[in-house]
């Protein structure tokens, strides 16, 4: 999870002359709040060591790319989101459930993966979302850099009011009897998780007949679909 693979990949592009002028390299990461249970996982332990290494790697690559092709490299700190990994990482399921519950109660703003992708694109390329980027191209990402040069897309997650509400939830309730906001958030987590795999999507009639024949016949190849 550190930066070795990224460093080798970028070095190979530079060595082969395949790095485009002005290319941007981004490494997606996560820091999270000061909440002790998460901080131990995401910053103080092995995961944290890997994240610190990716930060050091992107800082070094940023210098190399600027000198060689006028490019840049950034670590991008994303907000917490419902993913398959959110279920497996200790403490994360509870935290994201509280986050979702607070959002539903009007105490914060949760961004789903699509919204995060839009924020990411706008930060790098401006409101236009492309290389032409409109008049604000190149400005958005600079305004979102922290003191360590990381692109921060997690500002809404880390707002003091939201984090205060989550910390209060962690301090209340008993094992097996979580607060109502947490229970509501967990139900929403389940829905968001199901939608990752195409289930519980609003407007989809799952009882409607559909064609399940394979796209490829016995004599077709994947490349044939491109014709």
Evaluate if pTM is beyond 0.95.
no
Domain boundaries, the chain: 1-76
What local confidence, expressed as pLDDT, does residue 129 receive? Answer: 46
Torsion angle, alpha carbons of 124, 130, 134, 136, to 10? 0
Which candidate in 15, 30, 42, 206 is catalytic?
Answer: 42
Backbone angles phi, psi at 109, to 5 degrees: -130, 120
What local confidence, expressed as pLDDT, does residue 224 receive? Answer: 63
Active site residue 95: no
Give the model's confidence band at 43: pLDDT under 50 very low, under 70 low, under 90 confident, else very high: confident
% of the chain at pLDDT higher than 90:
62
How far is it, in rounded angstroms, from Cα 184 to Cα 110?
14
Whose CA is closest to 71, among 167, 155, 141? 141
Whose CA is closest to 182, among 191, 195, 173? 173
Q: Give residue-wise pLDDT tens across range 89-112.
A: 878 999 999 999 999 999 999 999
What local confidence, expressed as pLDDT, does residue 135 receive? Answer: 44
Helix (H, G, I), strand (E, B) or coil at 150: coil
Q: How far is CA 113 from the centre of its chain?
A: 7
Give the model's confidence band at 61: pLDDT under 50 very low, under 70 low, under 90 confident, else very high: very high
Q: Which of 49-58, 87-96, 139-148 has the largest mean confidence?
A: 49-58
CA–CA distance from 54 to each of 14, 73, 121, 154 (Å)?
A: 19, 11, 21, 18
Is the pLDDT score of 184 beyond 80?
A: yes
How far is it, in rounded angstroms, from Cα 185 to Cα 189?
6
């Amino acid at each position: 999870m550190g930066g070795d693979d990224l460093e080798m990949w970028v070095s190979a592009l530079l060595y082969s002359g395949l790095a485009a002028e002005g290319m941007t390299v981004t490494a997606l990461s996560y820091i999270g709040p000061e909440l002790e249970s998460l901080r131990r996982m995401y910053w103080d332990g092995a995961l944290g060591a890997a994240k610190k290494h990716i930060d050091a790697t992107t800082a070094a690559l940023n210098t190399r790319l600027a000198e060689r092709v006028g490019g840049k490299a950034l670590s991008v700190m994303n907000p917490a989101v419902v993913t398959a990994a959110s279920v497996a990482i200790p403490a994360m399921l509870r935290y994201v459930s509280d986050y979702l519950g607070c959002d539903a109660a009007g105490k914060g703003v949760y961004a789903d993966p699509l919204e995060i992708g839009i924020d990411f694109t706008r930060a790098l390329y401006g409101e236009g979302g492309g290389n032409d980027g409109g008049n604000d191209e190149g400005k958005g990402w600079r305004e979102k850099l922290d003191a360590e040069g990381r692109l921060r897309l997690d500002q809404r997650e880390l707002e003091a009011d939201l984090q205060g509400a989550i910390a209060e939830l962690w301090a209340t309730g008993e094992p097996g009897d979580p607060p109502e906001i947490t229970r509501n958030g967990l139900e929403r987590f389940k829905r968001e998780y199901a939608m990752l795999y195409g289930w519980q999507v609003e407007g989809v009639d799952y009882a409607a007949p559909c064609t399940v024949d394979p796209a490829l016949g016995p004599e077709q190849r994947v490349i044939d679909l491109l014709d």
